[in-house]
Chains A and B, each alone.
Chain A
Amino acid sequence: MSDQMRLFGDVVGHQRVLELLAREVAAPANAYLFVGAAGVGKATVARRFSALLLCPEAGGHTGECRSCRRVMSAAHPDLIEPDARQGLGVDQARSTIHQASLSPVEAARKVFLFDDAGTMTDQAANALLKTLEEPTATSVFVLVAEFEEQLPTTVASRCRTIHFGRVGEPMLVSALVERGVEEAQARVVAGLAGGRPGLAFSLLHSDAASAFRQQWLAVPSRASSRPGESFRLAAEMLATVEPLLEDAGEELPKDERMRRRGRLALLSAGLELVASWYLDAAAVQLGGPIRNKDVPLAMLTSVTPGDAVTRAERTLDAAVDLEANLRPQLLLADLFADLALD
């Protein structure tokens, strides 16, 4: 493990990406675009990468030096993070362009870290184009977004795009076990998190995780076309999220916006469990591998492969609609009524 890799020590997975970045530190490109699903660790890696770029120590990167500590707490004068909470508008882009023309304060370069680059307006993105392409020699841009398509192609073309996939389940389990989590719990949490270490860590200390999984996996056999029952089931499923949120309380900031995000992430994790149940049902009847090995076979085979496929699709669609600010209970009730076999 090289010195550069040491600062990445606490990142779960993404070995390929980390190796690449560690090599880039000596001669960074002018702009990077990190893309990947929420919670896979893009922001974590982006911050550590910024620390490496700004660190005055040539070797021994442990994140212990003053510079690295300040990067981690977002207090380094040469780390500029435009506030994306209200979206990134053209004014912020202009002030970034201005800052990019200044010399670094103490480090060898300035790093511009855009955590929610996807929220950038088209005008802001266009305004940044020239600066992204040919910034001063001492500026490095790091943009973080969920998909490349959130930004105009002209921006992506000027950045070195780095893809963050989901972390493999075995890798996530062993990472959790290394951090002192019991293996059984690690498996449950990793299965829930769907390759998103961020979500896995916030669920770690929860006793409710296993119950959460069981409850969601029972949905396919409980779904009913009677509206009253699907409403009751929806209410019950919504309630499964609360104990996990309570347990994750210390990790999640009190901020209402973050709590809402946490709730949505858990609900979509639950819906992905339901979808994986249906996929298992189709896979087992077609001779494929299954992932929820504790579901009785007789139950999986009670759905025909065709029905299972349409229901899995329907469930995944619902997981996306969740983000669109619908009332989750209505959405779930509608979904559960559609899932019913009778």
Chain B
Amino acid sequence: MESIGTLGGILNLWGPAQLGCGRRAVASGAVEYQALYRKYRPQTFEDVIGQSHVTSTLAREVAEGHVAHAYLFAGPRGTGKTTTARILAKALNCENRAADGSPDNICPSCVAITEGHSLDVMEMDAASHNSVDDIREMRISVTTVASASGARRVFILDEAHMLSKAAGNALLKTLEEPPDGVHFVLATTEPYKLLDTIRSRSQRFDFHTISIESLAAHLGRISDLEGYRSDAVALTAVARHALGSARDALSLLEQVAALGNGVVDPTGVNRALGLADGDAFATLVDAIDAQDAKSALELVARLASEGADLRRFVSEAVGFFRGVFLAHYAPNLAEIADEPAEVLHAWNQASERLPASDVLRAVDIMGESLIKLREGREERLMLELAMIKLTRPETSSDPAALQARLDRLERRVSANPPESRDPGPEVRSAPEPVVTTPAERSPVDPPFDPPPAFVDESPERPMELVEAAAPLDAGEPEARSRVEPTFAQFEAAWPALFAGLRDLLGARRWALFRETEPAAVEGSTLVIGVKHDFHLRALVADDSTAKIVATRAGDLLGGDVAVAFRATDGEAAPVAAEPEVPCGP
């Protein structure tokens, strides 16, 4: 048995202490590793978490000797159906059963059932033995085989929903009136698939998904037993992701612990699950509030580079915005949401920032993206698309988007009279982008009176300057100081500047402006090269273009700048020259 020797070698290499994982030695001398959810399968009624409505009833029935002949255990995955069925079998057969109906787990019968070789407990996989022949075989065993040592015989049919119709019907008579001492337990995740006639012959118990709180407590106990170093926040996060299933929770816990060498902390949970870190949603809320597509897109880039699972991010986001929506309309949030205080706090905070219509839109958009991601679309493109739609309602034309824009306007009008616009209590890390809600946007004229500008209209001068005044937007909380950007900064800001101007300038000025490029920076004056003499003259003649450009450039560069237009290469190009930049269709 060379192989076992080397397996032992591998185990030594990693060392049980280092991994802190559960193993138990089996008779052959090989080392069997058991997943936590098998190792810590509850062995008494009290150990089963979150199902006291089932387990206490069953315990009492056992204690009082009123055990039904057929039970139906229904409930979602990982809530304890099979486990409870096995405990029931043990309790029925235990030699030293406690007064409250619990098995002692040390008598030979209990041990045999725990180890799975009892002759009195037949656990059948109804999914792979679902034919009528399998059921007939079982019926023969039910009716003809006497129990060993007079014990009660328990037949557990797991995944009972997979029984074929014929098999289900073949079972009916036996299920209704089994011989003395025979009990059936049918366990299923999908009770509605069972025949009505089966359901009516059995006592039904519904298992519920387990609350986050009790799951987290359970995880805490197990991680102490396993010697993990765990913290409460991390355990709660694991519990939340298990969606009420103890099995999922333990699998996740094991995964996190394996990755973190026995340490279970929030970073480890995020890493194991590919989750975004906690402030991703705060950033997203800020971005939606400020209509800041840029920071939302940068958030996606950051998540992608950190290796976060973007699909999971989207599904988390649906959950988050649902919570924020609840926070809007439910004053008793703490009672209806099964979440820790920090999460509730985050929801409440976000609900103060975003109007309900925005939140509802976010739920819709993220939900729709989630469905589309499941169909196999590329995650990053899909998420970026959702981000643009979320932060800029004007890019979609559905009624919800219009409603969101209206609400935003109303809010702005009622909250901030135009004279004293408050920048808001929060300090945002990103500079507030130019407000470009279409209703507010005035592409034709800048919102302030043109200050006296130096305009030299003589066409023979090689360089023509238009000085534009500092942006006088009343909303600016403080006057900006003049900055002297480098040419590299100017070039870096150019794409955003250029792109943003299309709407600000309006069609006519844009036509003149579109064939320009950065030429130089002189002090705090940005010099923009213009290719055609004709355009240059028109741009210079109309100083509002320069003012709009200067305002926008000032926003991007974080200070006051002036703008000047100049012919490319210092000489006027012939008007008839072929444009170098290809035009769109």
Residues of chain A touching chain B, judged by Cβ–Cβ distance below 8 Å, are 15-16, 19-20, 23-30, 37, 56-59, 90, 93-94, 97, 104, 106-108, 123, 126-131, 133-134, 137, 146-147, 149, 153-154, 157-160, 163, 165-166, 168, 170, 194-195, 221-224, 272, 275-276, 279, 282-290, 296-303, 305-306, 308-310, 312-313, 316-317, 319-320, 323, 341-342
- The smallest C-beta distance from B555 to any residue of chain A, in angstroms, reads 10
A306 CA to B388 CA, complexed, in Å: 9
CB atoms of B379 and A58 under 8 A apart: no
**A160 touches which of B3, B32, B255, B500 (Cβ 8 Å):** B255
CB atoms of B255 and A20 under 8 A apart: yes
CB atoms of A306 and B298 under 8 A apart: no
- Contact residues in A for B30 (Cβ distance below 8 Å): 108, 137
Residue B428 CB within 8 A of the other chain: no
- Contact residues in B for A224 (Cβ distance below 8 Å): 585
- The smallest C-beta distance from B387 to any residue of chain A, in angstroms, reads 9
CB atoms of A108 and B585 under 8 A apart: no
CB atoms of B248 and A37 under 8 A apart: no
CB atoms of A298 and B127 under 8 A apart: no
CB atoms of B128 and A221 under 8 A apart: no
A223 CA to B514 CA, complexed, in Å: 22
CB atoms of B3 and A286 under 8 A apart: no
**B33 touches which of A28, A56, A168, A275 (Cβ 8 Å):** A28
CB atoms of A108 and B379 under 8 A apart: no
From B223-231, B307-315, B322-330, give the one contacting chain A: B307-315
CB atoms of A158 and B297 under 8 A apart: no
The CB with the most chain A CB atoms within 10 A, among B26, B301, B307, is that of: B307
- Contact residues in B for A275 (Cβ distance below 8 Å): 378, 381
5 A-B pairs within 8 Å (CB atoms) are namely A25-B10, A27-B33, A157-B248, A287-B500, A320-B377
CB atoms of A222 and B10 under 8 A apart: no
A interface SS class: helix
- The smallest C-beta distance from B247 to any residue of chain A, in angstroms, reads 6
CB atoms of B4 and A108 under 8 A apart: yes
- Contact residues in B for A300 (Cβ distance below 8 Å): 499
- The smallest C-beta distance from A70 to any residue of chain B, in angstroms, reads 15
CB atoms of B77 and A153 under 8 A apart: yes
Residues in B379-435 with C-beta less than 8 Å from chain A: 379-382, 384-385, 388-389, 391-392, 394-397, 433
CB atoms of A309 and B396 under 8 A apart: yes
Residue B496 CB within 8 A of the other chain: yes
CB nearest to A153 among chain B residues: B77
CB atoms of B255 and A316 under 8 A apart: no
Q: Known contacts A297-B498, A302-B583; is A286 also within 8 Å of B258 by CB?
A: no
Residue B450 CB within 8 A of the other chain: no
The CB with the most chain A CB atoms within 10 A, among B32, B162, B499, B583, is that of: B499
A30 CA to B37 CA, complexed, in Å: 11
CB nearest to B501 among chain A residues: A301
Residue B9 CB within 8 A of the other chain: yes
Residue B166 CB within 8 A of the other chain: no
- Contact residues in B for A58 (Cβ distance below 8 Å): 6, 9-10, 13
In the A-B complex, the 9 residue pairs with the smallest Cβ-Cβ separation, listed nearest first, are A302-B584, A286-B293, A288-B297, A58-B9, A126-B127, A127-B128, A130-B125, A26-B14, A137-B32
Residues in B358-373 with C-beta less than 8 Å from chain A: 372
Residue B11 CB within 8 A of the other chain: yes
A296 CA to B498 CA, complexed, in Å: 11
CB atoms of B32 and A166 under 8 A apart: no
Q: Known contacts A129-B159, A290-B495, A299-B584; is A16 also within 8 Å of B271 by CB?
A: yes
CB atoms of A146 and B379 under 8 A apart: no
Residue B272 CB within 8 A of the other chain: yes
Q: Known contacts A130-B125, A300-B499; is A289 also within 8 Å of B159 by CB?
A: no
CB nearest to B242 among chain A residues: A157
A153 CA to B397 CA, complexed, in Å: 36
Residue B332 CB within 8 A of the other chain: no
The CB with the most chain A CB atoms within 10 A, among B3, B33, B304, B382, is that of: B3
CB nearest to A309 among chain B residues: B395
**B77 touches which of A27, A154, A286, A341 (Cβ 8 Å):** A154
- The smallest C-beta distance from A299 to any residue of chain B, in angstroms, reads 5
CB atoms of A284 and B496 under 8 A apart: yes
Residue B375 CB within 8 A of the other chain: yes
CB nearest to A105 among chain B residues: B3
A104 CA to B292 CA, complexed, in Å: 59
A147 CA to B248 CA, complexed, in Å: 17
Extra pairs beyond A146-B376, A285-B502 (16, CB < 8 Å): A20-B255, A27-B11, A58-B13, A126-B162, A127-B162, A129-B158, A157-B251, A160-B251, A276-B381, A279-B384, A282-B293, A282-B395, A288-B297, A297-B495, A301-B498, A316-B377
- Contact residues in A for B378 (Cβ distance below 8 Å): 37, 166, 194, 272, 275, 316, 319
- Contact residues in A for B309 (Cβ distance below 8 Å): 163, 165
- The smallest C-beta distance from A251 to any residue of chain B, in angstroms, reads 22
- The smallest C-beta distance from B116 to any residue of chain A, in angstroms, reads 8
Residue B189 CB within 8 A of the other chain: yes
- Contact residues in A for B10 (Cβ distance below 8 Å): 25-26, 58
CB atoms of A306 and B397 under 8 A apart: yes
CB atoms of A286 and B189 under 8 A apart: no
CB atoms of A23 and B304 under 8 A apart: no
CB nearest to B392 among chain A residues: A286
- The smallest C-beta distance from B46 to any residue of chain A, in angstroms, reads 23
**B189 touches which of A127, A130, A154 (Cβ 8 Å):** A154
Residue B254 CB within 8 A of the other chain: yes
- The smallest C-beta distance from A165 to any residue of chain B, in angstroms, reads 6
A283 CA to B297 CA, complexed, in Å: 8
A37 CA to B6 CA, complexed, in Å: 36
CB nearest to A222 among chain B residues: B585
**A287 touches which of B35, B127, B499, B581 (Cβ 8 Å):** B499
Q: Known contacts A126-B127, A130-B128, A316-B377; is A284 also within 8 Å of B499 by CB?
A: yes
Residue B43 CB within 8 A of the other chain: no
**A296 touches which of B33, B377, B379, B581 (Cβ 8 Å):** B581
Residue B2 CB within 8 A of the other chain: yes
Q: Known contacts A16-B307, A149-B374; is A287 also within 8 Å of B433 by CB?
A: yes
A77 CA to B582 CA, complexed, in Å: 62
CB atoms of A283 and B582 under 8 A apart: no
- Contact residues in B for A342 (Cβ distance below 8 Å): 585
Residue B522 CB within 8 A of the other chain: no
Q: Known contacts A153-B77, A168-B305, A279-B385; is A23 also within 8 Å of B258 by CB?
A: yes
CB atoms of A306 and B297 under 8 A apart: no
CB atoms of A306 and B394 under 8 A apart: yes
Residue B294 CB within 8 A of the other chain: yes
Residue B541 CB within 8 A of the other chain: no
CB atoms of A23 and B259 under 8 A apart: yes
A342 CA to B585 CA, complexed, in Å: 8
Residues in B459-508 with C-beta less than 8 Å from chain A: 495-496, 498-500, 502-503
- The smallest C-beta distance from A42 to any residue of chain B, in angstroms, reads 14
Residue B515 CB within 8 A of the other chain: yes
A196 CA to B303 CA, complexed, in Å: 18
- Contact residues in A for B385 (Cβ distance below 8 Å): 279, 309, 312-313, 316
Residue B23 CB within 8 A of the other chain: yes
A331 CA to B388 CA, complexed, in Å: 26
Residue B38 CB within 8 A of the other chain: yes
CB atoms of B582 and A296 under 8 A apart: yes
CB atoms of A26 and B394 under 8 A apart: no
- The smallest C-beta distance from A216 to any residue of chain B, in angstroms, reads 14
CB atoms of A26 and B375 under 8 A apart: no
